[in-house]
A and B are shown apart, each in its own frame.
Chain A
Amino acid sequence: MSGTAMWVTVGIASALCFSLKLAGYLLPASWLAKPRLAPIVALVTVALLAGLFAVQTLTTGTELVVDARLPAVVVAGVALWRRAPFIVVVIAAAAVAAGLRMIGWCA
């Protein structure tokens, strides 16, 4: 992506995300009473994050790839289960992947 395309991406995304936040302050409070709204928004968030996680972990370009990322996210999962703070989880995953690649295993 060129520098200009990147600025366009960053600019539009920032404007849209701020507009979405502001919409919450400008819409009438009766929107809160719509019982089906909150669960669907929550599910969209979950689905996007799960999709991002799967793609980031198991693919490179348009190919399915199993490499050091897989053992790294297993360690991240254990760390989350043990209630480690976010930053510890992220660093642990990076360390596992970097370490495995350094010893030339499942690069």
Chain B
Amino acid sequence: MARARRPTPTGRAPRESRRAAGRHDRTAVRQALSVAVATGLYGISFGALAVASGLSVAHTMVLSAVLFSGASQFALVGVIGAGGSVAAAVASAALLGVRNGLYGLQMSPLTGARGIRRLAAAHLTIDESTGVAGAQVTPEAARTGFWRTGLGVWVCWNVLTLAGALAGDAMGDPRAWGLDAAASAAFLGLLWPRLALADEPHASASAVTSVHPNSTRRDAQMAAGLAAVIAIALVPVTPPGVPVLGAVAAAIVVGLWRPGQRLATQVGAST
């Protein structure tokens, strides 16, 4: 039967909505590609920084292929570069990895993956894949966006990490090339969209986990400021790697106290 309608996940779709579904799918693929390339380029700086921090090219590649989460990777090499212990490096990377678990909770029903595909979905669950999935208008397009972005970022990230690591290996003194400043800029770049200083639709998954109301944004800014002060204050008196972990206290304090939320409630009550 030539006119038989193909069943789709949303039920039997008439031609018009099938065409729309194709359009949504193409949008997801296009976004996935651009995010994959942009994020992959960032892999160059990770590769160079990792090698400059004392990791071998092999260590660096295992991080990009297996750990595969940019902020955790940068944190790990940052702590190692500062002379931190195994425990401090692992703890920083793992604490930054907690948010991926939260993304997984959201992506699990979306992908509906079982068995080996579920392991693959978990591995590809990062800021970017969750962010692109969350930006789609239909569940089908979201699924497409998730898988294409995850796979695309993984491939680009690994290829360009290798390029960066090999280049970093040939560079010599990392400070002469400003690689220490590049690491600072990398952390600032990862932090920036989470503070929503500029209202850019960056693929950080803040858009997925929650709409960022002003009060939440203010809390994030306060936590960031407090965390920086705590970390700097701890540097002269604690071993390397510990100051960064101490900064988590800022999240606990602000998380329990919610100053931004209180302020918003007060303003709301007075008007």
Question: Which residues of A approach B to under 8 Å, CB–CB?
Answer: 1, 3, 5-14, 16-18, 20-25, 27, 29, 31-32, 36-59, 61-64, 68-69, 72-73, 76-77, 80-81, 83, 85-87, 89-99, 101-102
Contact = CB atoms under 8 A, between A and B. Distances in A.
B139 interface: no
Nearest to B249: A47
Contact of B95 (A44, A92, A102): A44
A77 B220 CA distance: 17
- Majority DSSP secondary structure for residues of A touching B: helix
Closest 9 interchain pairs by CB? A24-B104, A51-B247, A97-B178, A93-B185, A97-B181, A72-B181, A94-B178, A98-B178, A51-B231
A94 B101 contact: no
Given A14-B63, A52-B75, A62-B237, 7 more contacts: A17-B93, A17-B97, A18-B123, A48-B95, A50-B228, A53-B187, A57-B184
Interface string B172-202: 0001111111111111111110110110100
B261 to A, nearest CB: 9
Nearest to A80: B192
Interface of B: 38-39, 41-42, 44-45, 54-56, 59, 62-63, 66-69, 71-72, 74-76, 78, 80, 82-83, 86, 89-90, 92-109, 113, 118-119, 121-123, 125, 175-192, 194-195, 197-198, 200, 206, 209-210, 216, 219-220, 223-232, 235-240, 243-251, 254-255
Contacts, number: 329
24 contacts: A9-B89, A9-B90, A10-B55, A14-B66, A17-B68, A21-B104, A40-B255, A45-B194, A50-B247, A51-B227, A52-B244, A53-B188, A54-B228, A55-B243, A57-B181, A61-B240, A68-B178, A77-B188, A80-B197, A87-B38, A94-B185, A96-B178, A99-B178, A101-B176
Contacts of A59: 82, 232, 235, 243
B56 A6 contact: yes
Contact of B67 (A13, A41, A64, A92): A13
Nearest to A100: B178
Instruction: Among A7, A55, A87, find the residue whose CB has the most chain B CB atoms closer than 10 A.
Output: A55
Contacts of A55: 78, 82, 231-232, 235, 243-244
Nearest to B173: A101
A42 B97 contact: no
Nearest to B247: A51
Contact of A86 (B41, B195, B224, B226): B41
Contacts of A89: 185, 188-189
A22 B179 CA distance: 33
Given A39-B219, A85-B38, A86-B189, A20 B181 contact: no
A90 B45 contact: yes
A94 B104 contact: no
A51 B224 CA distance: 8
Contacts of A32: 105-106
A51 B190 CA distance: 12
B105 A69 contact: no
Given A31-B105, A86-B189, A94-B177, A46 B195 contact: yes
A97 to B, nearest CB: 3
Contacts of A102: 176
A59 B106 CA distance: 38
A30 to B, nearest CB: 10
